[in-house]
Amino acid sequence: MNRPEEPPEAVPEAPNLPNFRKLMQGDFSAVDWRIFWSGLPLVVFLVLNSFWPEDLWRTQVAIVASFAASTWVFATNRDSGVIRFITVLGFVVVAGSAVVGLAADSAKAFAAQNIYSDFLVAAVCLASVAIGKPLVGAVARESIPALRPLMDPRHRLFVILTLVFMAYNIGTGIFRIFLLGEFSANEYVIVSRITSPISIAFFLACYFTIKRAAGISQEQAPT
């Protein structure tokens, strides 16, 4: 189950994994700065929903402008494969949230898009494990091609990490539902992001765990 798919001779000398040590030393040459554009729709929504005149369709203007920013970010995204699929799902959620928010004249309905995403990602995680293609493994192998000959897509570690990610998203979704009822739309948009450091910590833990497993697989591979 956990054996590499490719023949041993396809194993590279070393996994070509991102070097966080260089980032800590200030070398950001490998950083794709497009990831920061993902925060643009959030900023647009907060600014307009705070300062646009309330009697000039503030909620509608904020939603439409934020959705327009999301569309631009989506259009400039050049990813493919599994990562592109996840991006498309995210954009569908944003579009659906915009429709609901406009129809209900509710900024909260639009701001709740990350709640919808939490449960959608959890469902995708479960489905991916069920079909033998755990999401974390698919993303890791696509992002880091050097992993492909070292770790099978159904590797036990990928299954475990995907199930943990599923549980995390369910927990985050439930927590955000509570926050949505306690705060205004603008406050929720900000406060609901307090889980971001936990997400970053999870992805870093995945990175180092997968890197260690890849190193073990490389050592065990026949020469």
How many domains does the chain fold into? Answer: 1
Q: What is each CA distance from 3 to 6, 20, 135, in whole angstroms?
A: 9, 27, 18
Q: Render pLDDT for 210-219 as a digit per residue (tens, 0 to 9).
A: 988 888 776 6
Q: How far apart are CA 67 and CA 73, in angstroms?
A: 10
SS (H, E, C) 59-116: HHHHHHHHHHHHHHHHHHCCCCHHHHHHHHHHHHHHHHHHHHHHHHCCHHHHHCHHHH
- 128 in any annotated domain: yes
- 17 in any annotated domain: no
pLDDT score of 207: 86
pLDDT score of 186: 94
User: End-to-end alpha-carbon separation of the chain, Å?
Assistant: 20
Q: How far apart are CA 192 and CA 154, in angstroms?
A: 33
pLDDT score of 11: 37
User: Which tokens is 64 given?
Assistant: 């439409």
The closest of 120, 213, 212 to 169, measured between CA atoms, is 120
Q: Tell me which residue range forms the domain holding 185.
A: 112-223
- 122 in any annotated domain: yes
pLDDT score of 161: 96
- 132 in any annotated domain: yes
Q: For the chain, which ranges sit under pLDDT 70?
A: 1-36, 218-223
- 88 in any annotated domain: no
- 98 in any annotated domain: no
